[in-house]
């Protein structure tokens, strides 16, 4: 088989995303290479996630081999930018890479031990533009928990209905929700599954910033995302996702509208003052007519006081937040203006783009 260095490296780096350094089985430290009529197929899995991608190659003889992922990646990365010939000697499980007048011999693993990955589904549950789903992931997955002590919160709820597709994530301190109206689906009911946030973040790296199609297939045992270039598999998280609608305030006491270009840099400056033992910054907001005052202070470091113009409806309010959580929302919202709705000093606030109602970010205040 002959493959360009670029294709060999691209496929290896994609597959390597599903290789865990803490794999429970030695074979899972490898990447399965399959030479077929379609080209060179790369497969990898850690048993929770799996990936398959196919890249062009000139195949003379079909076959499979498992290469150690890290070593193979290091080798391919340093090969010259030219076509590479791959020859496999089954008797000694030796893969030879030939480039110019040089050769690199690699000891391989037993391909028969590699787990069998699911096949490409015949019919997708739904289809969506890659760039649209990529943006939905970017605006939601970051709000999932990273601590595995409560697995349900490390996932992202995917809810599909006849007239919408929705992603929701929460770590119990904050919540992000993105709703796409009228997706390309034939659903006549509501289906829910919980996808590990880690899986969506890895998928996001594979998706393109273009409107080519992404197919999604759901079943009780697996979630499959696939395009013409790759298949990506994930196990769903078992359990029931909390009812996020119950935590969204219905009665608003205070509402302000502000330009992100004004608020974001002000919060960034205030966040420079670390004010808690765990390294977080607290920002104190004072909301009055036409003015938002931002205060932050740290013992033996300093303090900051900044005022920015805003449009305010309702009552005056003083409230405090974790600066990083507030910044996370401001950095991912695709809008020039946002509204922030408050139900009181101890109730969560809701941040939305002024231009749309399909995205919201909910944030719990801090008691200070």
pLDDT band of 59, cuts 50, 70, 90: very high
For residues 31 and 69, is the Cβ–Cβ distance under 8 A?
yes
Same domain for 260 and 317, yes or no, is yes
What is the model's pLDDT at position 184? 61
- Give first-to-last CA distance, the chain, whole Å: 66
Q: Is the residue at 164 inside a domain? A: yes
What is the model's pLDDT at position 277? 64
Which residue among 223, 244, 265 closes a domain?
Answer: 244
Same domain for 28 and 84, yes or no, is yes
Domain that holds residue 282: 248-363
Mind giving me the DSSP string for 192-242?
EEEEEHHHHHHHHHHS-SS--EEEEEE-SS-EEEE-SSEEEEEPPPPS---
- How many CB atoms within 10 Å of residue 321? 22
Residue 185 has pLDDT above 80, yes or no: no
Same domain for 203 and 311, yes or no, is no
The whole-chain average pLDDT of the chain stands at 92
Q: Is the residue at 306 inside a domain? A: yes
Overall domain count for the chain:
3
Mind giving me the DSSP string for 237-265?
PPS----GGGGS-SS-SEEEEEEHHHHHH
Same domain for 18 and 106, yes or no, is yes
pLDDT band of 300, cuts 50, 70, 90: confident
CATH number of the domain encompassing residue 139:
3.10.150.10
Same domain for 271 and 209, yes or no, is no
Tens digit of each residue's pLDDT (9 = 90 or more) over 306-320:
999 999 999 999 999
Same domain for 258 and 152, yes or no, is no
Same domain for 158 and 67, yes or no, is no
Least confident of 180-189, 331-340, 346-355: 180-189
Which residue among 209, 244, 279 closes a domain?
Answer: 244
- How many CB atoms within 10 Å of residue 136? 24
Same domain for 324 and 267, yes or no, is yes
Same domain for 137 and 229, yes or no, is yes
Least confident of 180-184, 199-203, 243-247, 304-308: 180-184
Q: What is the mean pLDDT of residues 188-206?
A: 93
Q: Is the residue at 121 inside a domain? A: no
Which residue among 244, 278, 297 closes a domain?
Answer: 244
Chain centroid to CA 203: how far? Answer: 6
Q: Is the residue at 270 inside a domain? A: yes
Q: Is the residue at 312 inside a domain? A: yes
What is the model's pLDDT at position 23? 81
- How many CB atoms within 10 Å of residue 50? 21
Same domain for 236 and 252, yes or no, is no
Q: Is the residue at 174 inside a domain? A: yes
Same domain for 238 and 289, yes or no, is no
- Sign for the pseudo-dihedral over CA of 268, 314, 170, 185: negative
What is the model's pLDDT at position 150? 94
Beta-bridged to residue 312, according to DSSP, are 256
Same domain for 66 and 97, yes or no, is yes
Q: Is the residue at 119 inside a domain? A: no
Q: Is the residue at 368 inside a domain? A: no
């Amino acid at each position: 088989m002959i493959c360009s260095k670029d294709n060999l490296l691209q496929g290896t780096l994609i597959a390597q995303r599903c290789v865990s350094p803490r794999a429970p089985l030695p074979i899972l430290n490898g990447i399965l290479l399959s030479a077929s009529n379609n080209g060179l197929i790369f497969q990898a899995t850690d048993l929770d996630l799996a990936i398959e991608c196919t890249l062009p190659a000139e195949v003379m003889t079909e076959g499979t081999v498992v290469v150690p992922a890290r070593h193979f990646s290091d080798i391919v990365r340093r090969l010259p930018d030219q076509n590479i010939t791959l020859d496999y000697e089954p008797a000694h499980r030796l893969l030879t890479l030939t480039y110019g007048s040089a050769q690199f011999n690699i000891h391989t693993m037993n391909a028969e031990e590699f787990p069998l990955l699911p096949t490409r589904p015949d019919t997708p549950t739904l289809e969506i533009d890659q760039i649209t789903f990529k943006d939905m992931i970017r605006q939601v997955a970051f709000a999932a928990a990273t601590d595995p002590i409560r697995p349900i919160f490390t996932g992202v709820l995917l809810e599909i209905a006849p007239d919408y597709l929705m992603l929701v994530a929460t770590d119990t301190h904050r919540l992000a929700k993105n709703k796409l109206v009228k997706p390309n689906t034939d659903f006549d009911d509501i289906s829910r599954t919980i996808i590990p946030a880690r899986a969506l973040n890895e998928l996001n790296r594979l998706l393109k910033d273009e409107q080519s199609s992404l197919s999604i297939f759901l079943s009780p045992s697996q979630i499959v995302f696939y395009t013409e270039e790759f298949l990506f598999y994930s196990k769903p998280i078992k359990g029931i996702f909390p009812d996020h609608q119950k935590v969204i305030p219905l009665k608003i006491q205070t509402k302000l509208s502000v330009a992100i270009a004004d608020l974001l840099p002000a919060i960034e400056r205030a966040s420079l003052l670390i004010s808690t033992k765990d390294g977080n910054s607290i920002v104190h907001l004072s909301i009055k007519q036409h003015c938002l005052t931002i205060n932050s202070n740290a013992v033996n470091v300093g303090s900051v006081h900044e005022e920015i113009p805003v449009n305010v409806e309702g009552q005056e309010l003083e409230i405090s937040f974790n600066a990083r959580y507030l910044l996370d929302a401001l950095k991912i919202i695709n809008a020039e203006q946002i509204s922030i709705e408050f139900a009181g000093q101890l109730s969560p606030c809701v941040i939305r783009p002024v231009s749309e109602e399909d995205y919201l970010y909910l944030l719990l205040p801090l008691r200070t």
